[in-house]
A and B are shown apart, each in its own frame.
Chain A
Amino acid sequence: MSRTTPAADRGRASRPRPAGAPEVETVFREEFGRVVATLVKRFGDIDLAEEMAQEAFVEAMQRWPRDGVPPNPGAWLTTTARNRGIDRLRRESHRDAKQQAAYHLYGEEESVPSAPVTSVTDERLRLLFTCCHPALAADAQVALTLRLLGGLTVPEVADAFLVPERTMAQRITRAKRKIKAANIPFRVPRDADLPDRLRGVLGTIFLVFNEGYLPQSGEHAIRTDLCHEAIRLGRVLRGLMPDEPEVTGLLALMVLTEARRPARVGGDGVLVPLDEQDRTLWDRALIDEGHDLVRWCLRRNRPGPYQLMAAVNAVHTDADSVSDTDWGQVLALYDQMYAATPTPVVALNRAVVVAELEGAEAGLAIVDGLVLDGYHPFHATRADLLRRLGRANEARAAYDRAIELASNPAQIAFLTLRRDALDPPAG
């Protein structure tokens, strides 16, 4: 298959041009969610929508390298998938009544065969809310979102979460079955439910990001593909809900976190803490984008947890070194976060900042008052504070506990290194 795109044809979107497999792949990722969402709206059936979208992409794979990419690939795919769906429904007269009803309801527009794909944005948003419905289990929400909106194949989703393909296929099938049987609506929730439901959607996207940024299972220190997919979904959501500050806050948080990724794990596979990171490796373009997003949030002045976390990251990425960091500002942000959500985890993060401003002793006093025994960052933080205070024996015990609880390989390597560098036990 040819990878080349004749330079003369570049930028002339009106004329078909030959496509290479990577190009079809890119279009696939970009358009899959749109095509599925449009077809769900039309046919009222996720399985059918998914199958027809898949078939349209297979056809594109065969035709585009030969005939060129059509001027509007998304519309071509949607039309192809829709026509195949209609054919299928005509062939299968036994399709159930619900679908028939949906077909009759939406089938009317058929007189405009290649009508421009309007209001699809709305439809992707509907699909996102369906996939992230609180009546579905959290792992099913993530899987459905990656499959239907992200366009990942079932084996890819299985791979991302390190579960057998069969298990993931069952999880997705069960979730789709529940959507259909329980009649989970394909709709953006009404205003009264929106804040709650949006939190669920944001939580799902952030879960994908975190699983990429700090995998809790498997041998990878970071799974870049999942980080990128989460950011992509975040950008789509921001395009769909441009006025929701928390949507922008989540995107800013992910972008600013991702910006530091190149410096986060050393060549030896050991996690590099913030104060030792080579800041020249940070991605300036992402930092600039993140700062713009945070400024947008500040102007809105409707803070929420994601925006506050993004703001903390903006302060960090604004400094040339740890000593340059405006820790007072970071503390003010954590104070605000703690006032809104007084959880031990927020208190722990706040304690780290207190330690920077007032010394390890002050930080440790807060940490020791928290009940977070099963949470490895608690022990890792305690270990670090004890180490800084020269209390090697206690630090060692805390490192041991943190290592025992941690599962990310880069994190374990870092904690082990720190523990082994402690002064040997007295006596």
Chain B
Amino acid sequence: MTQYMISVMATEGEPQPSGAEMQRSFRDVETFNEKLRKNGHWVFAGGMHEPSTATVVDGTGTDVVTTDGPFSESKEYIGGFWVIEATDLDAALRLAAEGSKACGGKVEVRPFHDEADIEDMVREADARA
């Protein structure tokens, strides 16, 4: 089993859906979510406010620096996402296609690390040093 993030990609300035379209999309997404839960794929999901509502926090220095976001000024942004669990990429891609249809947007599928990957990364970093 691998966990994947399915991000819904939105583009700034693209035409907004009508109220009816939005309602249909919410309903389709809920049906899809229900299916994810029923089949054991569900981990988490959510939709987010637009990037202009974001705040960037830098806690790496001595003082915490808080600035008006978003972090990167890009025309493309993540409008919402699912975190799912699937046997392999083929299974994840099939779910992503359904999710894309339900929410009416393009999606990006990206795998999460697992513990073994983290061990590998640490070992590779050591080997590079």
Cα distance A193–B2 in the bound complex, in angstroms: 21
B117 proximal to A (CB < 8 A): yes
Q: B116 near A98 (CB under 8 angstroms)?
A: yes
Q: B90 near A185 (CB under 8 angstroms)?
A: yes
Given A181-B117, A182-B111, A183-B2, decide whether A94 and B123 contact each other with a Cβ distance below 8 A: yes
As a 0/1 sequence over residues 62 to 106 of chain B, the CB contacts with chain A under 8 angstroms (1 = contact) are 000000000000000000000000011110110000000000000
B12 proximal to A (CB < 8 A): no
A-B pairs under 8 A by CB, number: 41
Q: Which residues does chain A contribute within 8 Å of B93, judged by CB atoms?
A: 135
Given A181-B111, A182-B111, decide whether A189 and B90 contact each other with a Cβ distance below 8 A: yes
Q: A96 near B2 (CB under 8 angstroms)?
A: no
Q: Which residues does chain A contribute within 8 Å of B90, judged by CB atoms?
A: 184-185, 187, 189, 193
B58 proximal to A (CB < 8 A): no
Between A94, A96, A187, A193, the greatest number of chain B beta carbons within 10 A of the residue's beta carbon is seen for A96
Given A182-B2, A183-B2, decide whether A97 and B89 contact each other with a Cβ distance below 8 A: no
CB contacts under 8 Å to A, within B108-128, are 109-111, 113-117, 119-120, 123
**Chain A proximity of B112: nearest CB distance (Å):** 9
Interface of A (DSSP majority class): loop
Between B89, B93, B117, B119, the greatest number of chain A beta carbons within 10 A of the residue's beta carbon is seen for B89
CB contacts under 8 Å to B, within A180-205, are 181-185, 187, 189, 193
Given A181-B111, A182-B111, A183-B111, decide whether A97 and B88 contact each other with a Cβ distance below 8 A: no
Looking at chain A, what size class is its interface with the partner chain?
Answer: 10 to 19
As a 0/1 sequence over residues 5 to 48 of chain B, the CB contacts with chain A under 8 angstroms (1 = contact) are 00000000000000000000000000000000000000000000
Q: A185 near B89 (CB under 8 angstroms)?
A: yes
Q: Which residues does chain A contribute within 8 Å of B109, judged by CB atoms?
A: 182
Given A94-B123, A96-B120, decide whether A183 and B89 contact each other with a Cβ distance below 8 A: yes
**Chain A proximity of B6: nearest CB distance (Å):** 12
Cα distance A96–B124 in the bound complex, in angstroms: 13
Q: Which residue of A lies closest to B113 (CB)?
A: A181
Q: B111 near A97 (CB under 8 angstroms)?
A: no
Cα distance A418–B111 in the bound complex, in angstroms: 55
**Chain B proximity of A404: nearest CB distance (Å):** 35
Q: A135 near B89 (CB under 8 angstroms)?
A: yes
Q: A97 near B2 (CB under 8 angstroms)?
A: no
**Chain B proximity of A85: nearest CB distance (Å):** 18
Q: A96 near B111 (CB under 8 angstroms)?
A: no
Cα distance A371–B113 in the bound complex, in angstroms: 47
Given A182-B2, A182-B89, A184-B89, decide whether A97 and B123 contact each other with a Cβ distance below 8 A: no
- What are 10 of the A-B contact pairs (CB < 8 Å)? A96-B116, A97-B114, A135-B89, A181-B117, A182-B2, A182-B4, A182-B92, A182-B109, A182-B110, A184-B89
In the A-B complex, list the 10 residue pairs whose CB atoms are closest, starting with the nearest.
A96-B116, A185-B88, A183-B2, A97-B116, A182-B111, A183-B88, A182-B89, A184-B89, A181-B111, A183-B89
Q: A182-B2, A183-B2, A183-B89 are in contact. List 15 more A-B contacts (CB 8 A).
A: A94-B123, A96-B119, A97-B114, A135-B89, A181-B117, A182-B89, A182-B109, A182-B110, A182-B111, A183-B87, A183-B88, A185-B88, A185-B89, A185-B90, A187-B88
